[in-house]
Amino acid sequence: MKWFKHDTDANMDAKLQEVMLDYGLEGYGLYWYCIELIAQRVNGDNLTFELEHDCRIIARNTGSTPQKVEQMMKSFINLGLLNAEDGHVFCLKLALRCDDFTAKAVRRKGIKTLSNQSVGVSPSLSDFVPLEEEEEVRSKKKEKEVRAVKDYSYIDEGFEYWWSQYPSPRRRNKPACKLKFRNKCKGFDEKQVEEFVNKLCYDVSEKVKLVDDIKFMQTTEPYLNKEAYNDE
């Protein structure tokens, strides 16, 4: 693994705050040193996220003692910052913070436990590591949303024309009618919207001819809600 995500406010994490209260910067630094050691060995063929260095080596490299390193690492495990199984130490959370290449391997293969069983990684991994494939999906989704917004332009034009053809004394609640009109045109292309509008306008003109007084004509909102334009 070439790199992993490290939040700029990681020191404010409640568990790491406890580490600093007990061991100061020595404990905080040791934790991230262990994470670096784990990350160094992670690749597409090694997804155990296991810490393979023992306390003596870590103590020698950090200028501490094996006893103190062991004590601090037990604290990390008790706090849930590290995991332990059969005497081995590892960090599964690191799978959520790995580089793009490793993230793809994790998504494809899963994390390998010490018993060599794959552990599925939540799709929330994408919240931490934007994979190329996911970026492409997001891009296509955004394009689709933009097209949907553009679609509203000719749908709204159709609505405005129908609205203008409806007898003004019987027009009611334009915002609600506009929303209802959009819903009824959902998935329509421009030609289908045009045909729908023509149908409504023709129906309105026919209904106007049938009423003796315009005040008895149905208002716009129930006209759309009840699909009065489909009445025989």
134-190 pLDDT, tens digit per residue, is: 556 666 666 666 555 555 688 999 999 999 999 999 999 999 999 999 999 988 888
Helix H or strand E segment including 139: helix 132-165
In a domain, 1, yes or no: no
Instruction: Report residue 199's pLDDT band, with 50, 70 and 90 as the boundaries.
Output: very high
Of 84, 108, 129, the residue that ends a domain is: 129
Of 98, 129, 160, the residue that ends a domain is: 129
In a domain, 93, yes or no: yes
Q: Using CA atoms, how far apart are residues 32 and 17, in angstroms rounded to an integer?
A: 13
Instruction: Report residue 97's pLDDT band, with 50, 70 and 90 as the boundaries.
Output: low
In a domain, 2, yes or no: no
Nearest to 6 by CA among 166, 119, 167, 128: 128
Same-domain pairing of 57 and 145: no
Higher pLDDT: 81 or 99? It is 81
* CATH number of the domain to which 20 belongs: 1.10.10.10
Of 129, 155, 179, the residue that ends a domain is: 129
| Total tally of structural domains belonging to the chain | 2
Q: Are 117 and 125 in contact (CB under 8 A)?
A: no
Same-domain pairing of 212 and 184: yes
Residue 202, pLDDT score: 92
Angle between helix axes 66-78 and 55-62 (nearest 10 degrees) is 110
Same-domain pairing of 109 and 187: no
Domain containing 52 equals 10-129
Same-domain pairing of 167 and 92: no
